[in-house]
């Protein structure tokens, strides 16, 4: 009796070249607003050290970002590679809204998945966080409280959430949290950053951080659900308005 070969098709393996990997990592930092518009990238020499690659590889990676309109090269004493504020002009905002419309299904999936993952991540962080993790959360909270621009608010809000999942010391929680954040990034970016929003965010972050410091997993879950619920309502309101 002969065995039939399954009729399966497989995607071709795509080998990412070094400069593509570096460009992708820098793009991730920009997308998450950890490097925000107006900031400069580290000098090429520093990037070669950070990534363990040659200078030509770094230059090719930067060329990709420049070609995409994400960054620009500036000459002179104060020159370097600077991140462009594409969302500040009318075309940038139009493009952002278009991406949100195109990614509506992805955004809704991310919202639903976030309810399942983040409360669990906070509960795990309550058990596994270190003193260094708590320090990172405190630093992000302090920076967010002092933020005066929307770019700064976005950056330090993201840093707080990444600090929380870093406290799980589990790469799958960390990778998933980054993916969710990247899927929601555009729509979070256009939410109005009012004083009321800032006050509520600080209070909700404080409740999450307090639970993690106390090692209270049940309290951490409740605090995470409350924070996620408010953000969920705001994002869905934006989607409904488009």
Q: Which residue has better confidence, 108 or 68?
A: 108
- pLDDT score for 90: 43
Give the percent of the chain with pLDDT over 90.
47
pLDDT band at 7 (very low <50, low <70, confident <90, very high): low
- Decide if pLDDT at 234 tops 80: yes
In our burial notation (b when 16+ CB lie closer than 10 A, e otherwise), range 122-158 reads bbbbbeebeeebbebbeebbebbeebeebbbbbbbbb
CA 94-40-83 angle, 5° bins: 15
CATH of 90-241, one of 3.40.50.1370, 2.60.40.10, 1.20.120.530, 3.30.70.3280: 1.20.120.530
What is the Cα–Cα distance from 73 to 157, expressed in whole angstroms? Answer: 28
pLDDT band at 15 (very low <50, low <70, confident <90, very high): low
Domain with CATH 1.10.10.10 in the chain: 18-83
Domain with CATH 1.20.120.530 in the chain: 90-241
| pTM value > 0.75 | no
- pLDDT score for 89: 45
18-83 topology per CATH:
Arc Repressor Mutant, subunit A (1.10.10)
pLDDT band at 13 (very low <50, low <70, confident <90, very high): very low
């Amino acid at each position: 009796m002969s065995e039939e070969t399954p009729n399966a098709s497989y995607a071709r393996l795509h080998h990412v070249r070094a400069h593509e990997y570096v460009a992708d990592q820098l793009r991730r930092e920009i997308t998450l607003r950890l490097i925000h518009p107006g900031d400069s990238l580290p000098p090429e020499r520093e990037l070669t050290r950070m990534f363990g690659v040659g200078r030509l590889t770094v230059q090719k990676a930067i060329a990709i970002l420049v070609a995409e309109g994400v960054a620009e090269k500036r000459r002179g004493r104060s020159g370097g590679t600077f991140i462009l504020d594409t969302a500040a002009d009318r075309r940038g905002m139009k493009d952002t809204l278009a991406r949100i419309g195109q990614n509506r299904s992805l955004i809704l999936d991310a919202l639903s998945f976030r309810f399942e993952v983040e409360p669990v991540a906070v509960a795990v962080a309550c058990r596994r966080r270190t003193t260094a993790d708590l320090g990172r959360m405190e630093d992000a909270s302090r920076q967010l409280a002092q933020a005066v621009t929307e770019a700064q608010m976005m950056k330090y809000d993201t840093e707080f959430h990444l600090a929380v999942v870093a406290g799980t010391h589990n790469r799958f929680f960390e990778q998933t949290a980054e993916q969710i954040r990247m899927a929601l990034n555009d729509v979070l970016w256009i939410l109005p950053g009012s004083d009321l929003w800032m006050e509520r965010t600080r209070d909700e972050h404080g409740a999450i951080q307090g639970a993690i410091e106390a090692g209270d997993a049940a309290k951490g879950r409740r605090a995470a659900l409350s924070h996620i619920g408010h953000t969920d309502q705001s994002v869905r309101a934006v989607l409904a308005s488009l």
